[in-house]
Amino acid sequence: MRLTAPGPLPPDRRSLRWELSRKGGSSVKRTKTKEEALGGVAGSAQILHRAPRNRRHGFSKTPARLLLASGDYRQFNLRMKRDTDIFSPDLIIEVSGAEEPGDTSHIYSGEIFGEKGTLAHGSVVDGRFEGFIKTHQGTYYVEPSERYLEQKSVPFHSVIYHEDDIDYPHKYGSEGGCADISTFERMKKYQASAVEEPVKGQKVHKAQEEENSDVPVILRSKRAAGKEKNTCQLFIQTDHFFFKYYGSRETVIAQISSHVKAIDSIYQATDFMGIRNIGFMVKRIKINTTEDEKDKTNPFRFANIGVEKFLELNSEQDHNDYCLAYVFTDRDFDDGVLGLAWVGAPSGSSGGICERSKVYSDGKRKSLNTGIITVQNYASHVPPKVSHITFAHEVGHNFGSPHDSGIECTPGESKLQDKKAQGNYIMYARATSGDKFNNNKFSICSIRNISAVLKSKRDCFVESGQPICGNGLVEIGEECDCGYSDQCKDSCCYSANEEEGKKCRLKPDKVCSPSQGPCCTADCTFVAQNEKCRKESECANQGVCNGATALCPASQPKENFTSCNAATQVCLNGVCSGSICEKYGLVVCTCASQDGKDEAAELCHMCCMDKNDPATCSSTSSDRWSKHFNRTVITLQPGSPCNDFKGYCDVFMRCRLVDADGPLARLKKAIFNPILYENIADWIVKNWWAVLLMGIALIMLMAGFIKICSVHTPSNNPKLPPPKKLTDTLRRRRPQQASAPPQARGNRSREYQMAQLRP
């Protein structure tokens, strides 16, 4: 890998150019120039306005200022806080077999201070920042200098470079990081061998594009405003080679967070034909350290494992608790393979997101919601940019996308220079450099396939718990939320389609937005004071605006024990929650029939009793409670329990008993009902002659049946002729002339045929 210069620097500044060559091993050449590819970061990353520490996690979620300075690059004044979005609240980290609660206090996310729409993510370990910074001019990467430089005496500990500075010497294998065709065929055949259910042609990596790839994009349907399950939970494992390369537990976790954050930003920004805000969350991390290299329980302990076998070892584990399960490694697989994963499908196939374990033709139970990636390629470290896109590519396979094909979805192969300059999309068959416009986007072909899978196999997704711009709800971190551009009718708020820093924000000089509440007008000003904003309810007065906020203030509750819900309940603190009995110091109860009849009308009456005295349970229409209710009949609501919870009240206010046997009881009553048999007996007595005729007809029918079938019945009597075959009886006989011998009949037949041919 050769890192080239981003451009000329001021002539009064001296810089160094570091070139990394792989010929004959890694060597570093130092040359004086006015260009640089790697900017040295000297000193420690400075954290300004440090947030208060807590005992367990180091820094709190309060934003901190981090000043990152590079020798010949710009200064990055980062405003960051601890990143908890990509880790599950119950994250478990397993290190060499020992589980422990997840500590991610060294992981940070934020933005460049004063620059909206930027993103910074990384870790601070031993005073050094490592991560990426997305600016409006591209993405910068910060890594430890020892990953690129052998010399230890350099005056800086880290290097920083722009994504455009990476020069790629090869295309990462014949298939751009994926296995060859024979591997695809073997995996496809194996996926079709599930024992538990029929499988139809599941495809891995070499899957063909759907035939309807040229169908126009379907317009997005309107989303519900509530919470939705849009987060895929991940289980990430790292083998001992990965740990050996990065050197520490904290650095390994930082690499995992960096990869997940990178793909999360890509998928969150993609509209999968109406399904938006798809994100990722790490639920479990398993780190195999160098101590696990000889552990016999470690399936990844052997050094020489091919990419297929490596994926198989991951798939042999039970991953039913996760959306996807990946293994990160630092192995140099054959043919430059960077990753491998099973391709998902909407139905009828095994593999992909949310796939549960099954038994396959080899008798093994496997989970095919898996994938693997490596950070080594041809004995060299893969830049984070390439590794991040590789991860997004393999996850795209899990989500149901095969490789891009066709003119529409492979613009990098176009003969038109303007299209070719934009580059190929994420799911292109070969690895991309990541510096082209399309390199971190999904093609329309991929979007069609992924959206089909998401609509049918998203059952294992969970709610993210994070605010979602575009759902119509103003959440933490949002000033307003009017939805997406096709929904937003609000002139006060930026829609969710706007760029970062604008979306879900008030437009300049706008005081409020109707999405904030009913007390904001369409002109983006507060509604006048005492204007009605909420209707009066049974237990609360109408709400009125106060002229100072868009929210409708809480309504004043009506007096306690005000009757509500058809006079069966009373209001308590503005909520219809108490029983009408409580108004008079009584306790609600259910009236039970004394004689066991479930049709008593009183069973569906409101009944009250004295406290701790069930014997006083009576209807509101009874004499007992006439002084309170004046013998007024108050009925329960349809569906309410009655008869001491043995039945329910129907719409006619009759108590219907609940039969535990259900339909079986009704069938039993219909067949064994005594009344039915009594009616049958009465009919027989009254119509005896009809019964006699039916008996005679039955006897005649049976006699005729025996007579007809007797010729086909075998007998032990030797004097009787043998039984005839049923086929002989049913065969149609042709009339024949008995006087004519066979030969004569044959001659006449020939004469007839000759007569027909005579001219």
Owner of token pair 């990953």: 147
**Residue of 312, 394, 478, 602 with catalytic role:** 394
Beta strands in 583-675 (DSSP E): 587-589, 607-609, 618-619, 641-642, 647-649, 655-657
394 is an active site residue? yes
Short-list 240, 236, 241, CA closest to 331: 241
> CA 718, 720, 726 angle in degrees (round to 5)?
120
Question: Which residues touch 162 (CB under 8 Å, ≥6 apart)?
Answer: 6, 138, 139, 140, 141
Burial class (CB in 10 A: 0-12, 13-18, 19+), 461: buried
CA distance 39 to 609: 84
Question: What is the Cα 150 distance to its own chain's centre?
Answer: 45
Task: Name the residue among 426, 534, 510 with its Cα closest to residue 177.
Answer: 426
Find where tokens 């119950």 sit.
90
Over its C-alpha atoms, the chain yields an Rg (Å, rounded) of 40
Question: What b/e readout covers 400-424, taking b as 16+ CB neighbours within 10 angstroms?
Answer: bbbbbbeeebbbbeeeeeeeeebbb
DSSP letter, residue 291: G
Q: Which residue bears the tokens 């083998």?
A: 239
Q: Sign of torsion, CA 204 205 206 208?
A: positive
Q: What is the DSSP letter of 568?
A: T
Residue 747 amino acid letter: N
* 3-state SS, residue 140: strand
Query: Binding site annotation covers 157?
Result: no
Is 393 annotated for ligand binding?
Answer: yes
Is residue 605 a known part of a binding site?
A: no
Residues 6+ apart with CB under 8 A from 234: 260, 280, 281, 282, 283, 322, 323, 324, 325, 326
**How far apart are the C-alpha atoms of 89 and 712, rounded to whole Å?**
81
Both tokens of residue 139? Answer: 């993405």
Amino acid at 163: E
DSSP annotation string for 153-205 = --S-SEEEEEGGGEE-SS-STTTTTS--HHHHHHHHHHHTT-SSS-------S
List alpha helices for 595-720, DSSP H.
Answer: 626-629, 663-671, 674-686, 688-709
Distance of alpha carbon 570 from alpha carbon 704, whole angstroms: 80
Strands (DSSP E) along 514-631, which ranges? 532-534, 543-544, 563-564, 569-572, 575-579, 587-589, 607-609, 618-619
Q: What is the full DSSP assignment across 48-117?
A: ESPPPEETTTEE-SS-EEEEEE-SSS-EEEEEEEE--TTEEEEEEEEETTEEEE---TTEEEEEETT-TT
Greatest CA separation found in the chain? 132
Catalytic residue ranges: 394
Q: What are the binding residues for Zn(2+)?
A: 393, 397, 403
Q: What are the binding residues?
A: 393, 397, 403
